[in-house]
Amino acid sequence: MDALQQLAADAAPQEICGILLGVENRVTGHIPTTNISPSPERHFEIDPAQLIQAERTMREGGAAILGYYHSHPLGNVRPSSTDAESAAADGRLWLIVNGTDAALWRAVPNGEIFGRFDKVAMDCLLID
Ligand SMILES: [Zn+2]
């Protein structure tokens, strides 16, 4: 989480984005990806080539893709309506950070936020 918040703060006012890796409900790592959106101050779009590579690594026995992260440099860590429109209801996690705060969401059918996201409780554990 510290690493993600640092990336988000360093990239502001542009949004960062990437892939969350882990096991079951525990995020254990992340892959920063290029934000290829033409307006990265307001939107994000994960480079599809990097996403395909991560999917391939997962199929070959690597860490599972639990979801995605991106930043909202202006602060609000709730999903935007644009986030909801671009999210598949695939049960994956969406972590939104702003440099200091963070919130975790799951993309589901009929979610409480814009019909697409439910909030997910989150604990950060320090692991030696
Ligand atoms: Zn967003």
Q: How far is the CA of 114 from the centre of ligand 1 (A)?
A: 12
Q: How far is the CA of 71 from the centre of ligand 1 (A)?
A: 7
Q: How far is the CA of 86 from the centre of ligand 1 (A)?
A: 10
Q: Is position 9 within any domain?
A: yes
Q: How far is the CA of 42 from the centre of ligand 1 (A)?
A: 8
Q: Is position 13 within any domain?
A: yes
Q: Is position 68 within any domain?
A: yes
- Residue 113's domain spans which residues? 2-120
pLDDT value of position 128: 66
Considering Cα of 115, then 25, then 45, then 58, what sign does the dihedral take? negative
Average pLDDT per 10 consecutive residues for the chain, totaling 128 residues? 96 98 92 97 96 94 94 95 96 97 97 98 85
pLDDT value of position 87: 97
Q: How far is the CA of 107 from the centre of ligand 1 (A)?
A: 13
Q: How far is the CA of 128 from the centre of ligand 1 (A)?
A: 31
Q: Is position 65 within any domain?
A: yes
Q: Three-state DSSP class for 19?
A: strand
The domain that holds 8 is classified in CATH as 3.40.140.10
Cα separation, 55 vs 95, whole angstroms: 18
Q: Is position 126 within any domain?
A: no
pLDDT value of position 75: 85
Cα separation, 95 vs 65, whole angstroms: 13
pLDDT value of position 26: 92
Q: How far is the CA of 62 from the centre of ligand 1 (A)?
A: 27
Q: How many domains does the chain have?
A: 1
pLDDT value of position 125: 86
Q: Residue 37, Cβ neighbours under 10 Å: how many?
A: 16
Cα separation, 89 vs 83, whole angstroms: 12
Q: How far is the CA of 96 from the centre of ligand 1 (A)?
A: 7
Q: Is position 116 within any domain?
A: yes
pLDDT value of position 76: 94
pLDDT value of position 25: 87
pLDDT value of position 110: 96
Q: Is position 98 within any domain?
A: yes
